[in-house]
């Protein structure tokens, strides 16, 4: 057989593209992007320059002056947001962020390196807003804003989940999520949103939640869930809706109101709150903790966020309790007070059960339910039987927003360790502030981009796999509605057989409602293996079998 | 152990290095991410790629017929979400034929090379099956996700159907 030239065969590329990134064309690949936003959907909330277009077409039917609109928009934002201007200038391209992005780790596409994703915008900034860029163009890392550049922006700014893991490793603290946020905000100036984001925004604006659940649907769904709860626990719960004068307004992500496994988490919340006899109410108007406006523009996020405070004011509650949600808590913790605060009409949250003042929420007046429940457990105010969760071998996924934007690291773990006997952490470099994203946040949890989601979630799934291999973990707990919606698919693909659950589903299972609580079913109405059995009743004296009466056999036979 | 498999085992590091370069090249289909940093979680795709490739080389060198290594499935699973054609995604397996030929010496016989090619073809066929199964699963994931979101709607429908069956007024 003829031998091949060794040098020739070994001369493979070293992972470096043939062309510089600016000259490497962006190819739209199926499964990597979402459908375009519909004009009528954007019109509901009065977005500018809406038009019909398709993300898979070459011609996006752009407004004639699209370039001026974008450059004017960029100028406005550079003047308005000091952080944006700083982040456009300050990066030294050290590459510390490059391999921290789950999308880069899952795909190897260099334009998914956070530094390069930011460079997509920076190159245009330099060309039009810096002297060096104006004079030296490409030599200074600047490039013209063209339709190809615009397409590239759209493709890659909707391949970022704004998880901010890269920011945790940036020596300058550049918040790459803010760059994506600005990129998306600019695209929205010319009607270029995705339908998966624009739809929930208009639904939320019109009906109070992302999927457009109307009040009667919410109440109907809750009724179903309460039926299941009664079947599992024997306790009938009737949470109130829109009740004026309640002490607490309870706001959950709407995913918990209609989709599994979020519905089981909702059942856990309600079982706990009803068991405590808390004076709380749900709202069918502020029926969404999440906020896809945040993935559209600052102004839209502010508008949608305001409903929670408005409803709290209308109902006259004292404070707000929030469910297990991710980006909801970044907004509550970092933005809400600036947007719509101060909420002076509310009071500093105080747990009516333990008396704990939640001083961390002194300004927003909003408490995360894991803070509330951890406090209950700490003060020994609820009785728990963690053995009911013994068939679950649990690990905990820190949601990006609650961990990096809120520092909510210990409370959920504290709860899980009290309601489960089997808990194992994932490797240190994949949890807490360094947590890996689910790959579906920031409005990317659509169906048509499933490949993108599977790529992005792969590093997280592999960390789960590692604890499956080492400890036999079979359950992934989390405190984010998007995690609960998106991770079942992620787990099914990469680590099949892994259950996804909210923390309060585990709480609901473990909660002992009274001395006679010998429930045999969990909140999914599945049998609890080795469930404790009620004590056998005192044997009654055996009556003698009457002559001629049918016998069951045995000793009487 | 044949002369060829002995040489493959001996030159495993060189073969791995060349195969790595071919698999991570940026030309054509989506690349595997290039390995950076230490440890599995610094780059899980690269970690499993290396593990899978190493297992494949060990499998080729095995004295007895063994099952195709499961870790090759990990590579196929990663490749199946890169949105390239199966022929592009799995071409790296065929690179192995030339790479091995360029690294090993001349001791191997024509028959041994033919047997090696057959083994690599078997790997490729197995990988195509796995790849297609992964692609089908992605389609199924979409259906199941929609179905999880529709649970309450289905229960509502069920309730209406029960009412209808019991002759109750649905108005």
Question: What SS3 class is residue A505?
Answer: helix
Inspect the interface and report whether the beta carbons of A99 and B32 lie closer than 8 Å.
Answer: no
How distant, in Å, are the alpha carbons of A15, A104, A117, A454, B43 from that of A459? 20, 10, 19, 10, 8
Among all chains, which residue has been given the structure tokens 């407004």? A63
Q: How distant is the Cα of B88 from the closest Cα of chain A, in angstroms?
A: 14
Domain that holds residue B43: 3-134
Q: Based on the structure, what is the number of domains in chain B? A: 1
Please classify residue A29 by burial: count the beta carbons closer than 10 Å to its beta carbon, then call 0-12 exposed, 13-18 middle and 19+ buried.
Answer: middle
Predicted local confidence at residue B80, as pLDDT: 94
Residue A537 DSSP class: P
Q: Is residue B151 situated within a structural domain? A: no
Query: What integer pLDDT is reported at residue A156 of this predicted model?
Result: 97
Residue A309: alpha-carbon gap to chain centroid:
21
Interface contact A13-B21, CB threshold 8 A: yes
Q: Are A492 and B106 inside 8 Å of each other by CB?
A: no
What DSSP element (H or E) covers A499? strand A499-502
Chain B closest-CA separation from residue A454 CA (Å): 7
C-alpha distances in angstroms, A200 versus A138, A229, A294? 40, 29, 11
Name A435's Cβ contacts closer than 8 Å, sequence gap at least 6.
A165, A397, A398, A399, A400, A403, A404, A460
Residues of B with Cβ-Cβ distance to A30 under 8 angstroms: 83
Which DSSP string do the residues of B91-131 spell out, in sequence order? HHHHHHHHHHHHHS-S-S-HHHHHHHHHHHHHHHHHHHHHH
- On whether residue B160 sits in a domain, the answer given is no
Nearest residue in chain B measured CA to CA from A455? B81
Question: What angle do the packed helices A114-129 and A176-188 form, to 10 degrees?
Answer: 60
* B121 domain-assigned: yes
Q: B-chain residues within 8 Å CB-CB of A4?
A: 98, 101-102
DSSP H or E segment with residue A24: none
Question: How many whole angstroms separate alpha carbon A355 and alpha carbon A348?
Answer: 12
Chain A residues inside the 8 Å CB shell of B25 = 12-13, 15
Measured CA to CA, the distance from residue A105 to residue B43 in angstroms comes to 6
Distances (CA, A) of A494 to A109, A455, B80, B128, B147: 20, 10, 11, 18, 20
Of A298, A288, A201, A285, the residue nearest A251 (C-alpha): A288
- Structure tokens given for A533: 């059995």
- Our CA angle for A212, A153, B34, nearest 5°, is 110
Cβ of B44 and A224 within 8 Å? Answer: no
B144-162 CB burial, b ≥16 within 10 A, e <16: ebeebbebbeebeeeeeee
Chain A residues with CB-CB distance to B113 below 8 A: 1
Domain presence at residue B96:
yes
CB contact under 8 A, A31 and B27: no
Assigned domain for B110 exists: yes
Distances (CA, A) of A157 to A443, B112, B144: 11, 52, 27
Residues A170 and A27: their CA atoms lie apart, in Å, by 29
Of A1, A12, A263, the CB nearest to B25: A12
Which residue of B18, B45, B156 is in closest CB contact with A106? B45
A136-143 long-range contacts, CB within 8 A, separation 24+: A138/A22, A143/A22
| Closest chain A residue by Cα to residue B37 | A99
Nearest residue on chain A to B151, judged by CA atoms?
A: A259
Q: Nearest 5 degrees, angle CA A188-CA A191-CA A196? A: 80
CA distance A313 to chain B (A): 31
Angle at B124 (CA atoms; ends B122, B129), nearest 5 degrees: 100
What is residue A511's three-state secondary structure?
Answer: strand
Report the C-alpha gap between A399 and A333 in whole angstroms.
14
Q: Is B18 among the domain residues? A: yes
Would you call B53 exposed, middle or buried from its count of C-beta atoms within 10 A (0-12, 13-18, 19+)? buried
| SS3 assignment, position A177 | helix
d(CA B61, CA B7): 9
The verdict on whether omega for the bond into residue B40 sits within 30 degrees of 0, i.e. cis, is no
- DSSP for A412-455 reads HHHHHHHH-S-B-PPPGGGSGGGPPP-S-TTTT--STTHHHHHH
* β-sheet bridge partners, residue A475: A394, A499
CB pairs under 8 A between A and B: 152
Partners of A395 in beta bridges: A476
CA A16 to each of CA A302, A545, B148: distance values in angstroms, whole numbers, following the listed order: 42, 91, 42
**Mean pLDDT of each 10-residue bin along chain A, 557 residues long:** 55 58 91 96 98 96 98 98 96 90 90 95 98 97 98 98 96 94 98 98 96 95 96 97 98 96 97 98 95 96 95 98 94 91 94 97 95 98 98 98 95 98 97 97 96 96 98 98 97 98 98 95 96 86 55 37
Task: Output phi, psi for A190, to 5 deg.
Answer: -120, 30
Model confidence band, residue B98 (pLDDT cutoffs 50, 70, 90): very high
Instruction: Tell me phi and psi for residue A261, to 5 degrees.
Output: -95, 10
For residue A320, what are the β-bridge partners? A249, A366
Does B23 map to a domain?
A: yes
Mark yes or no for CB contact A6/B24 under 8 Å: no
pLDDT of residue A549: 46
For chain A, the residue count is 557
pLDDT tens for residues B3-17?
Answer: 889 999 999 999 999
**Residues sharing a CB contact under 8 Å with residue B110, sequence separation 6 or more, in sequence order:** A1
| B40-61 residue pLDDT tens | 898 899 899 999 999 999 999 9
With an 8 Å Cβ cutoff, are A260 and B27 in contact?
A: no
In angstroms, what CA-CA distances link A116 with A22, A139, A163, A417, B111? 10, 17, 16, 40, 50
Does A15 contact B25 at a Cβ distance shorter than 8 Å?
yes
Report CA Rg, chain A.
Answer: 27
Q: Is A259–B101 a contact, with Cβ atoms under 8 angstroms apart?
A: no
Task: Classify residue A20 by burial, with Cβ atoms within 10 Å: 0-12, 13-18, 19+.
Answer: exposed
- The reply to whether residue A492 touches residue B78, judged by beta carbons under 8 angstroms, is no
Domains present along chain A, CATH in parentheses = 21-193 (1.10.1060), 198-510 (no CATH)
**Nearest residue in A to B108, CA atom:** A1
CB A440 within 8 A of CB A486: yes
Answer whether residue B170 is part of any domain.
Answer: no
Contact B133, A442 (CB under 8 A): no
ipTM (interface pTM) = 0.92
d(CA A13, CA B22): 7
Exposed/middle/buried for residue B35 (C-beta within 10 Å: 0-12, 13-18, 19+): middle
* Whole-number Cα distances in Å, A167 to A101, A159, A228, A361, B64: 10, 16, 43, 25, 51
In chain A, which residues have their Cβ closer than 8 Å to the Cβ of B156? 220, 224
Match 């309870």 to its residue by tokens: A250
Q: Is residue A394 helix, strand or coil?
A: strand
- The domain that holds B43 is classified in CATH as 1.10.490
């Amino acid at each position: 057989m003829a031998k091949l030239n060794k040098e020739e065969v070994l001369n493979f590329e070293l992972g470096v593209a043939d062309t510089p990134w600016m000259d490497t064309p962006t190819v739209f690949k199926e499964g990597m992007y979402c459908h375009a936003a519909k004009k009528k959907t954007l019109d509901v909330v009065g977005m500018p320059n809406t038009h019909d277009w398709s993300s898979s077409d070459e011609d996006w039917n752009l407004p004639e002056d699209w370039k001026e609109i974008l450059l004017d928009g960029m100028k406005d934002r550079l003047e308005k947001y000091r952080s944006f201007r700083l982040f456009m200038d300050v990066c030294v391209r050290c590459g510390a962020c490059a391999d921290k992005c789950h999308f880069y780790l899952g795909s190897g596409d260099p334009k998914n390196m956070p530094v390069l994703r930011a460079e997509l915008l920076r190159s245009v900034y330099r060309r039009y807003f810096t002297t060096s860029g104006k004079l030296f163009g490409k030599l200074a890392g600047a490039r013209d804003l063209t339709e190809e550049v615009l397409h590239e922006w759209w493709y890659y700014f909707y391949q970022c989940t704004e998880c901010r893991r890269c920011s945790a490793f940036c020596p300058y603290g550049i918040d790459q999520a803010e760059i994506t946020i600005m990129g998306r905000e600019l695209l929205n100036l010319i009607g270029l949103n995705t339908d998966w984001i624009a739809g929930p925004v208009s639904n939320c604006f019109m009906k109070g939640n992302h999927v457009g659940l109307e009040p009667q649907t919410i109440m109907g769904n809750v009724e179903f869930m309460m039926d299941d709860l009664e079947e599992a626990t024997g306790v009938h719960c009737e949470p109130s809706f829109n009740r004026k004068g309640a002490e607490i307004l309870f706001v959950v992500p709407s995913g918990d109101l209609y989709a599994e496994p979020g519905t089981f988490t909702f059942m856990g919340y309600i079982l706990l709150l009803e068991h405590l006899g808390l004076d709380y109410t749900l709202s069918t108007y502020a029926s969404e903790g999440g906020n896809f406006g945040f993935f559209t523009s600052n102004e839209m996020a502010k508008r949608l966020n305001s409903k929670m405070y408005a409803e709290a004011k209308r109902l006259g509650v004292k404070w707000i309790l929030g469910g297990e949600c991710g980006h909801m808590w970044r907004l509550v913790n970092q933005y809400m007070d600036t947007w719509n605060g101060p909420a002076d009409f509310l009071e500093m949250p105080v747990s009516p059960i333990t008396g704990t003042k939640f001083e961390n929420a002194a300004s927003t007046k909003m408490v995360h339910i894991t803070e509330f429940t951890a406090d209950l457990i700490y003060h020994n105010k609820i009785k728990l039987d963690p053995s009911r969760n013994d068939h679950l071998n649990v690990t905990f996924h820190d949601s990006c927003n609650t961990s990096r934007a809120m520092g909510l690291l210990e409370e959920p773990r504290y709860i899980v360790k009290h309601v489960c006997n089997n808990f194992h952490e994932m490797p240190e470099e994949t949890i807490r502030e360094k947590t890996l994203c689910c790959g579906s946040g920031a409005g990317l949890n659509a169906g048509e981009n499933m490949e993108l989601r599977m790529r992005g979630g792969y590093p997280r799934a592999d960390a789960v796999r590692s604890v499956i291999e080492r400890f036999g973990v079979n359950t992934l707990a989390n405190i984010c509605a998007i995690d609960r919606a998106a991770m079942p698919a992620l787990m099914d693909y990469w680590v099949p057989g892994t259950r996804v659950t909210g923390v309060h589903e585990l709480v609901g299972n473990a909660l002992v409602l009274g001395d006679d609580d010998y429930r045999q079913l969990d909140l999914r109405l599945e049998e609890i293996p080795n469930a404790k059995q009620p004590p056998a009743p005192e044997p009654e004296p055996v009556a003698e079998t009457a002559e001629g009466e049918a016998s069951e056999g045995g000793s009487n036979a | 152990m044949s002369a060829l498999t002995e040489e493959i085992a001996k030159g495993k590091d060189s073969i791995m290095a060349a195969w790595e370069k071919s698999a991570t090249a940026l030309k054509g289909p989506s690349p595997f991410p290039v390995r950076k940093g230490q440890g599995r979680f610094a780059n899980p795709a690269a970690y499993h790629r290396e593990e899978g490739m190493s297992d494949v080389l060990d499998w080729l060198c095995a004295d007895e017929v063994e099952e195709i290594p499961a870790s090759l499935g990990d590579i196929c699973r990663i490749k199946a979400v890169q949105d390239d054609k199966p022929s592009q995604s799995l071409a790296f397996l065929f690179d192995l034929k030339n790479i091995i030929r360029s690294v090993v010496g001349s001791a191997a016989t024509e028959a041994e090379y033919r047997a090696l090619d057959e083994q690599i073809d078997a790997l490729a066929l197995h990988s195509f099956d796995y790849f297609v199964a992964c692609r089908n699963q992605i389609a199924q994931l979409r259906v199941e996700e929609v179905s999880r979101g529709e649970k309450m709607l289905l229960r509502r429908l069920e309730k209406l159907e029960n009412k209808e069956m019991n002759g109750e007024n649905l108005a």
